[in-house]
């Protein structure tokens, strides 16, 4: 009778001592390594691999990075893609993350040895970008900024808001639900398509904490419509708080229709809230800018502690504000001619290798971050639809878009420096076989 192969599976202590696996313990930690070793032993016990292959299998599983998150080449043409992590960070912001990963003076004054304002570098950068703001505050995300404003300023009172601005921000989350959860009341005015100044004026009373204006960042209403701008709202006497959503701080000629924090404050808003990881192109963060006394009220509210931004965010935000053009801005402004030239070159090389590839015009979009309906003319490499699934599960993962039976790789959000990597990823796909 043959010996039971399961008895030949190497022991855990032997595997943990294997040099490659021992090195992985340093890098990834003991529990991750033990789990990988256990998984490889189990595979051998089930007969999926030979006992002699266990060490190799465990070492292979441990060769990757410490996170299960996988980098993606965004070939969707959608710049601020929520499912793909919204804004990719600039090199400067990435470097700042590494600095902030260790002990840093995030809340400490090295000169005096005393406690200092948390994230003061990021706050100074925000105020330098929006000089019209009396003060600024950074919290976890845009929704947190709104929750903090509603809780600190309107709990038990009313926020007057147009019915046309009661928006769902994604994944089933609706701003009105979020706002009501704070204990503030919503006083709806106007209709879905039309709200006029008189609607607000009629609703404002002693119970009004503020008028809330929410930028419809992810949809557009067309036709018989009316909305009231901030300048007009500010004449009504009640404080006006504006959720600009996208996080544009200053006007951008590429996005003329997007509201900015600076412009909104100038128009008379007392507070502006925004996201850091949409058009601003920084880390996930919620920004509050405006009247110094109101910002101080938000900062001192007990909830502020639960919503505060971490040191990594503060570091990356500061670097985004002070640093080079963020990738989001570069992708929104990518030159259509250059995109077309890249698509033509890539498609040509693939076609020469026998791949059914052709360069096609492709419209990108800003995405959930703002500028709904804005067409960004660009170019894509068009492949058979069967490529989509295999590119997604390849290494690196490439996420394109399937349109009219073709897999389009839109180059807008793919850095030109990654064209060779993209080419290799497509070449690595075996075209024949079942669709994924
Ligand atoms: C995106 C968005 C939010 C939510 O911001 P998060 O950073 O996703 O929390 C709120 N309001 C508007 C108008 C938005 O566009």
CATH number of the domain at 366, please.
3.90.1150.180
For residue 71, report the distance from its CA to the centre of ligand 1, in Å. Answer: 24
Residue closest by Cα to atom 1 of ligand 1: 245
- φ/ψ of residue 86, rounded to 5: 55, -120
**Residues 352-390: pLDDT tens digits?**
999 999 999 999 999 976 888 899 999 999 999 999 999
Q: How many domains does the chain have?
A: 3
Kindly state whether residue 1 falls inside one of the protein's structural domains.
no
The answer to whether residue 139 scores a pLDDT higher than 90 is yes
Per-residue pLDDT for 4 more than 80? no
Residue 5 confidence (pLDDT) above 80: no
Q: Do both 347 and 397 map to the same domain?
A: yes
Under the banding of pLDDT at 50, 70 and 90, the label for residue 69 is very high
Task: Measure 275 CA to ligand 1 centroid, in angstroms.
Answer: 6
Q: What percent of the chain has pLDDT over 90?
A: 88
Q: Which atom of ligand 1 is nearest to the CA of 276?
A: 7
* pLDDT at res. 366: 95
What residue owns the CA closest to ligand 1's atom 12? 245
pLDDT, average across residues 43-54: 94
Which residue, judged by its Cα, is nearest atom 13 of ligand 1?
245
Angle, to 10 degrees, between the axis of helix 311-322 and the axis of helix 91-100?
Answer: 150
* Residue 45 domain flag: yes
Farthest CA pair distance, the chain = 93
Which domain range does residue 336 map to?
A: 72-81+330-427
For residue 212, the SS3 value is strand
Local structure of 201: helix, strand or coil = helix
In a domain, 392, yes or no: yes
pLDDT per residue as tens digits for the range 203-217: 999 999 999 999 988
Same domain flag for 140 and 282: yes
Secondary structure letter of residue 87 according to DSSP: P
Handedness of CA 229, 230, 236, 239 (dihedral sign): positive
Q: Which residues line ligand 1 (CB under 6 A)?
A: 141-143, 169, 214-215, 217, 243, 245, 275, 286
Nearest-angstrom CA–CA distance, 175 and 166: 6
For residue 324, the CA-to-ligand 1 centroid distance in Å is: 24
- Looking at residue 220, its pLDDT comes to 84
Enter the tokens of residue 211: 């008028």
Q: Which range among 77-91, 213-227, 401-415 shows the weakest confidence by mean pLDDT?
A: 213-227
CA 309 to ligand 1 centroid distance, Å: 16
Residue range 256-272: mean pLDDT, rounded? 97
State residue 2's pLDDT score.
52
320 with 281: CB under 8 angstroms? Answer: yes
Identify which of 79, 143, 273, 280 to mutate to test ligand 1's pocket (most ligand atoms within 8 A of the CB): 143
135 and 273 fall within a common domain: yes
Tens-digit pLDDT profile for residues 174-209: 999 999 999 999 999 999 999 999 999 999 999 999
Q: Are 283 and 312 in contact (CB under 8 A)?
A: yes
Give nearest CA residue, ligand 1 atom 7.
142
Domain boundary residue, one of 324, 352, 377: 324
Tell whether 5 is covered by a domain.
Answer: no
Residues 377 and 355 in one domain: yes
**SS3 state at 362:** strand
**Span from the CA of 152 to the centroid of ligand 1 (angstroms):** 19
Q: At residue 434, does pLDDT exceed 50?
A: no
* Closest residue to atom 2 of ligand 1, CA basis: 245
Residue 21, in any domain of the structure: yes
- Stretch 302-312: mean pLDDT, rounded? 98
Give mean pLDDT, residues 347-351. 97
Domain assignment present for 143? yes
Percent of the chain as helix, strand, coil, to the nearest 5: 40, 20, 40
Q: Which residue(s) pair with 154 in the sheet?
A: none
Task: Give the number of other Cβ atoms within 10 Å of residue 355's Cβ.
Answer: 19
Q: How far is CA 3 from CA 6, 8, 15, 44, 285, in A?
A: 9, 9, 21, 14, 60
Q: How far from each other are the two terminal CA atoms of the chain, in whole angstroms?
A: 44
Q: Does 407 lie in the same domain as 259?
A: no
Q: What's the pLDDT at 431?
A: 61
**Does 434 reside within a domain?**
no
Q: Are residues 199 and 105 in the same domain?
A: yes
Final residue belonging to a domain, choices 324, 350, 370: 324
Q: What pLDDT is stored for residue 171 in this prediction?
A: 82
Q: What is the mean pLDDT of residues 70-84?
A: 97
Q: What is the pLDDT of residue 141?
A: 97
Ligand 1 atom nearest 144 alpha carbon: 9
CA distances to 352, 353, 412, 426, 433 from 358, in Å:
11, 12, 16, 13, 21
One domain, residues 207 and 355: no
Atom of ligand 1 nearest to the CA of 244: 13
Cα–Cα distance, 25 to 184 (Å, whole number): 50
* Lowest mean pLDDT segment, chosen from 187-196, 217-226, 237-246, 333-342: 217-226
Both 319 and 337 in one domain: the answer is no
Ligand 1 nearest-atom number relative to CA 277 = 7
* 128 and 248 share one domain: yes
* DSSP, res 184: B
Asked if 122 and 187 sit in the same domain, the reply is yes
Phi, psi of 397 (to 5 degrees): -70, 135
Q: What angle do CA 431, 434, 436 make, to 5 degrees?
A: 90
Q: Are both 174 and 262 inside the same structural domain?
A: yes
Query: Of all atoms in ligand 1, which is nearest to the CA of residue 284?
Result: 7
Taking the C-alpha atoms of residue 315 and residue 375, their distance in angstroms, rounded to an integer, is 33
Q: Rounded to 5 degrees, what are φ and ψ at 193? A: -100, -25
Let me know: does 180 contact 154? Beta carbons within 8 Å: no
Among the three residues 290, 324, 358, which one is the final residue of a domain in this structure? Answer: 324
Tokens of residue 192, six digits? 């879905």
Chain mean pLDDT for the chain: 94
pTM as predicted: 0.90
pLDDT of residue 435: 46
- Protein residue closest via CA to atom 6 of ligand 1: 142
**In a shared domain, residues 49 and 117:** no
Spacing, Cα 350 to ligand 1 middle (Å): 40
Q: Tell me how far apart the alpha carbons of residues 358 and 158 are, in angstroms, rounded to a whole number.
A: 57
| pLDDT tens profile 265-274 | 999 999 999 9
**Dist. CA 71–CA 82, nearest whole Å:** 14
How many A from CA of 202 to the centre of ligand 1? 28
Assess contact for 219 and 245: CB atoms under 8 A. Answer: no
- Please give the pLDDT value at position 196: 97
Residue 273 lies in a domain: yes
């Amino acid at each position: 009778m043959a010996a039971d192969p399961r008895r030949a599976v190497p022991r855990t202590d032997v595997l943990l001592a294997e040099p490659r696996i021992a090195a992985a313990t340093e890098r990834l930690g003991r529990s991750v390594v033990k789990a990988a070793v256990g998984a490889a032993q189990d595979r051998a016990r089930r007969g999926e691999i030979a006992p002699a292959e266990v060490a190799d299998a465990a070492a292979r599983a441990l060769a990757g990075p410490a996170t299960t998150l996988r980098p993606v080449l965004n070939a969707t043409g959608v710049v601020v893609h929520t499912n793909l992590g919204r804004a990719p960070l600039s090199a400067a912001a990435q470097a700042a993350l590494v600095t902030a990963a260790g002990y840093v003076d995030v809340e400490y004054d090295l000169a005096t040895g005393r406690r200092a304002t948390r994230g003061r570098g990021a706050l100074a950068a925000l105020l330098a970008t929006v000089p019209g703001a009396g003060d600024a505050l950074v919290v976890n995300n845009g929704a947190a900024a709104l929750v903090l404003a509603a809780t600190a300023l309107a709990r038990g009172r009313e926020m007057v808001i147009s019915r046309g601005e009661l928006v769902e921000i994604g994944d089933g989350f609706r701003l009105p639900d979020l706002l009501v959860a704070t204990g503030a009341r919503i006083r709806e005015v106007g209709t879905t398509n039309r709200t006029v100044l008189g609607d607000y004026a009629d609703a404002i009373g002693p119970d009004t904490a503020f008028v809330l204006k929410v930028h419809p960042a992810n949809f557009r209403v067309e036709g018989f419509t009316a909305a009231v701008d901030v300048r007009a709202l500010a004449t009504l006497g009640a404080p006006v708080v504006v959720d600009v959503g996208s996080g544009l701080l200053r006007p951008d000629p590429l996005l003329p229709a997007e509201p900015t924090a600076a412009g909104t404050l100038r128009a008379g808003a007392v507070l502006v809230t925004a996201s850091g990881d949409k058009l601003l192109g920084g880390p996930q963060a919620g920004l509050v800018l405006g009247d110094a006394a109101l910002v101080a009220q938000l900062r001192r509210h007990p909830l502020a502690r639960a919503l505060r931004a971490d040191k990594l965010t503060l570091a990356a935000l500061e670097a985004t504000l002070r640093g080079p053009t963020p990738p989001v801005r570069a992708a929104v402004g990518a030159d259509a001619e250059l995109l077309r030239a890249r698509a033509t070159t890539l498609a040509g090389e693939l076609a020469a290798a026998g791949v059914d590839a052709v360069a096609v015009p492709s419209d990108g979009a800003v995405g959930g971050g703002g500028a709904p309906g804005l067409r960004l003319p660009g170019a894509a490499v068009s492949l058979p639809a069967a490529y989509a699934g295999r590119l997604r599960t390849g290494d690196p993962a490439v996420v394109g878009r399937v349109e009219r039976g073709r897999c389009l790789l839109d180059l807008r959000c793919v850095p030109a420096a990654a064209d060779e990597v993209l080419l290799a990823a497509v070449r690595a796909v075996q075209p024949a076989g079942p669709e994924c």
